[in-house]
Structure 1
Amino acid sequence: MTAPLRRRGPRPLPLHLQLALMRATLAMQAAQMMTEPPSCGASPNWSGGSASLPWPITQAGQREMQRIAAALAVAGHSPEQLRTAVARRLAEQDRALIAGIAAYRRHPFARDLPDPPVLWREGSSRLLDYGGTGAPLLVVPSLVNRSYVLDLLPEHSMLRWLAAQGHRVLLLDWGWPEPAERGFTLTDYVAGRLERALAAMPGGRAVMLGYCMGGLLALAAALRRPERLRGLALLATPWNFHAGDTAPRAQALAALLPGLEPWLQATGTLPVDLIQSLFAGLDPWSLANKFRAFARLPQDTPRARHFVALEDWLNDGVPLAAPVARETLEGWYGRNDPGEGRWRVAGAAVQPGALQVPAFVAIPRGDRIVPPASALALAEALPDVHHEVVAAGHIGMAAGTRAEAALWQPLDAWLRRLPG
């Protein structure tokens, strides 16, 4: 712990520490409810708030409390022993969490992988040329994360691996939104920036590959410019934002928009820390769990290096242009415009059924950011589609330690089957 600090994350750190504290409070509440059952033999009420908690217990909180209670139900323990065991375990977990965060912040890793040559540039956006000798493949990432997650490490880069298989790989790096780009809408990004990048591609017709939010942008561009494409690949791309039981969560995100307006108006963007806070709300306990696990890792191993590389990328976000933030939160999450057929780009409805080229859809089975049902709805709406269910999460699918076998190889096989 004597090494110098190299990074500030995980960001926003106060929120993550607060979530860890909330989990501890839920654990103590669970122990209290187990050891002091309600009178008259009634079962504990997990469905609402508690007089001893300063917030209502959400569905996620209820599940966590139930999980903690079940894990701590040790036969033969007295109530006092059980409460003591809970307190001891919480203290151990807190120490492990702080140790993991401290180890991450002092880890010597620093990504020094140079960018490939720039083929085209507009505003803050660049088209990066990863080489390869085959047909062109234009990769379109999300607007809210750095694109280098697909080029994470020299020994673990999806883009360099695909180029080595013979595909001519080009990455659209959106960049940090400059003042003019802070006024962009989704139409500006699709019908403007993305289409001009597609026009700058060398060679013949391209395959376009979109990741997450980038998949929605790529789909809209493919519908507008089918003559420039021979295929469309969509990785962890949402479509029906209210699929299954996800509508309440999506609408809750949309309901946050009025409270975010002061930041949108003041900066012209949705700032990075606010975006990170929204992602943290999707899986509030995950950060503490993964840093506790990281504290147990030998710090000089490839696994630790990979963990730090991914965490650095997660903390190196990009703000979202204010008009796009409003469109996505209100239109996508609140009204489910894509899933309901109401999403329009440049005045035209984005209709997957009208796609004129073959499609590949990868659906991560363990995705907490894009629920599998949301992505599956897109696969089912496309006319000529191969869909692959990947045994991974949203990020692990593309950049995890098992991503090559889980996604890269099936994607490469599909690309090779496309007609010229």
Structure 2
Amino acid sequence: MAEAGRSLTQSLADAGPDAWTRLDAEIAAESARRHESFLAGIEAYRHHPYRRALDPAPEVWRQGTTSLRDYRLPGCDGPPVLVVPSLINRAYILDLSQKRSLMRYLAEKGLAPFLVDWDAPGEVERRFTLTDYIAGRLESALDEVVRLTGKKAAVVGYCMGGLLALALAQRRPDAVSALVLLATPFDFVVGREANSVLMKALAQPMGSLIDGVGEVPVDMLQAMFAGLDPGLAVRKFTAFTRLKRKSAAARDFVALEDWANDGVPLAGPVARECLFGWYGENDPVQGRWCIEGRPVNPESVTVPTLVMIPKRDRIVPPVSALPLWERIPSAKLMRLAGGHVGMLTGPRAKTEVYGPLMRWLQRRAGN
């Protein structure tokens, strides 16, 4: 940037003695304009009439706060698919609206999809480790799907849910027919080495907070995500002011933003494993992340596997997800054009993600 700086300085010098004063005034005016546009976007979002009214799929199983939702259409006998979302966001990102729903799309195409709904941790779940969630709740949900359908299930994991699905597929090849990993992180340090240093520095003070509260509050998690792209909020709310209030694009924006603001806390022991073990020490890559004492090892996955990686993902950059694909034997890689959330909810989600995923599942999960 040094050359650009010298060029700007020379341009200001050539513009006359009052150039700096005029520049300061223009910057102040532009800053005020952007600030007002940002606030206007927030107000337009807050007062938009859209409210999510989509009925949830029937609940067919529950343990504690964890439930299993059945999206099968009447008479369906297709291959079962167990979809696993992240623990820190609501599961309905996979069923956001009638037109933006991976779950309903898979059902319409003849598959038998089931969605794990973690919900917010209760008193029991606040003491959970990842072993409790995977070896306990997730395996029980898998067993219920197999019982209901009489078939092995394909397992689809999204984001953090992909790592849970990975561990499940390694542990239960007797009940898993195929594995799909959507925007799933694995190397938590590559390209973000500073984050690892920061997380190690925060381990003691944040660990004390987690121990005291018993969980990582939603606001803290939201602040961490915001830090990945500090300018995102300004850009998206400013862009929202340019949308017609009654347009489908405006409704889609509000639906997605409502979901993003509807997060859940993360159980204390799980937070320690993820924040300090994954992001601080990069335990998955180092082979130190264990479930019931057994390392989660991608090389041990024996079922057909598809890894789908969005090219514009800022939450799980491709450099974080690619090492997982490289280590799973014979895994198929599919590179996508979208972003982390846009891959599921964007205007091209059906053609670029839903369709290819459905066709792969029909070929592999039914075998």
**TM-score normalised by structure 2 residue count:** 0.93
Are positions 1:300 and 2:241 aligned together?
no
Residue in 2 that maps onto 1:82: 23
- Asked if 1 retains the 8 angstrom alpha-carbon contact of 2:129 and 2:270, the reply is yes
Q: Does 1:166 align with 2:110?
A: yes
1:398 correspondence with 2:339: no
Distance 1:279 1:121 in 2: 30
CA shift, 1:257, in A, is: 3.2
Where relative contact order (Cα < 8 A, 6+ residues apart) is larger, the structure is: 2
What CA distance in whole angstroms lies between the structure 2 residues aligned with 1:100 and 1:260? Answer: 33
Number of residue pairs the alignment of both structures matches: 357
Query: Counterpart of 1:137 in 2: which secondary structure?
Result: strand
Q: Which residue of 2 aligns with 1:147?
A: 91
Shift of 1:264: 1.6
Q: Secondary structure at the match of 2:263?
A: coil
- Name structure 2 gaps, 5 residues minimum: none
Summarize the Cα distance change of 1:168–1:254 in structure 2 as closer, same or farther, 3 Å threshold.
farther
| Alignment-derived partner of residue 105 in structure 1 | 46
- Greater shift, 279-288 or 76-85, is seen at 76-85
Query: What is the CA deviation profile of residues 310-356 of structure 1, one whole-angstrom value per residue up to 9, with x for unaligned ones?
Result: 00000000100000101111110111110111211110011101111
Matches within 5 A, 1:95-244: 95-132=36-73, 133=76, 134-201=78-145, 202-203=148-149, 204-243=151-190
Q: In percent, how many aligned pairs have the same letter?
A: 46
- Paired with 1:220 and 1:75, the residues of 2 have a C-alpha distance of 63
- SS of structure 2 residue aligned to 1:296: coil
CA contact (8 A) 1:205 1:228 kept: yes
Distance 1:159 1:250 in 2: 35
Shift of 1:277: 0.4
CA contact (8 A) 2:207 2:272 kept: no
In structure 1, distance between residues paired with 2:276 and 2:207: 12
Aligned residue for 1:281? Answer: 227
SS state at 1:392 partner? coil
Q: Counterpart of 1:20?
A: none
4+ runs deviating over 4 angstroms? 72-77
Q: Distance in 2 between matches of 1:264 and 1:392?
A: 34
Amino acid in the other structure paired with 2:54: L
Question: 2-side partners of 1:303 and 1:190: how far apart?
Answer: 37
Q: Any stretches of 5+ residues in structure 1 without a counterpart?
A: 1-29, 38-42, 45-68
SS at 1:231's partner residue?
A: strand
8 Å CA contact retained: 1:136, 1:169 = yes
Alignment of 1:356-367 (within 5 A): 356-367=302-313
Instruction: Return the offset for 1:262.
Output: 4.4
CA offset at residue 280 of structure 1? Answer: 0.5
> Structure 2 matches for 1:335-414, cutoff 5 A?
335-414=281-360
State which drifts further: 130-139 or 166-175.
130-139
Check the 8 A contact 1:125/1:174 in 2, yes or no.
yes
| Number of the residue aligned with 1:316 | 262
SS in structure 1 of the partner of residue 241 of structure 2: helix
Asked if 2 retains the 8 angstrom alpha-carbon contact of 1:263 and 1:271, the reply is no
Query: 1:165-190 deviations in whole A, cap 9, x for unaligned?
Result: 11100000001101011000011011
Query: Paired residue for 1:64?
Result: none
The Cα of 1:258 is off from its aligned counterpart by 2.6
Shift in CA distance, 73/107, structure 1 to aligned 2, threshold 3 Å: farther
Paired letter, 1:129:
D
**1:87 is matched by which residue type in structure 2?**
A
Residue range with higher mean Cα deviation, 140-149 or 254-263: 254-263
Q: Secondary structure at the match of 1:138?
A: strand
- In structure 1, how many angstroms separate the alpha carbons of the residues matched to 2:265 and 2:122? 10
Q: Whole-Å Cα distance in 1 between the matches of residues 89 and 201 of structure 2? A: 23
Q: CA deviation at 1:268?
A: 1.1
Deviations 1:268-292 (A, max 9, x none): 1100000000001111111111101
Matched residue SS, 1:353: helix
C-alpha distance in 1, partners of 2:174/2:84? 18
Cα offset, 1:400, TM superposition = 1.8
Q: CA-to-partner distance for each residue in 1:240-287, whole Å, 9 max, x for gaps?
A: 1122x2222233234333332343223311000000000011111111
Q: Any idea what SS the aligned residue of 1:169 has?
A: strand
Alpha-carbon distance, 1:399 to partner: 1.6
Contact 1:208/1:232 (CA < 8 Å) preserved in 2?
A: yes
8 A Cα contact 2:195 2:280, kept in partner: no
Task: Tell me the TM-score normalized by structure 1.
Answer: 0.81
RMSD of Structure 2 on Structure 1 (CA): 2.3
Q: Which residue matches 1:417?
A: 363
Answer yes or no: is the 8 Å Cα contact 2:79–2:362 preserved in 1. Answer: no
SS at match of 1:249: helix
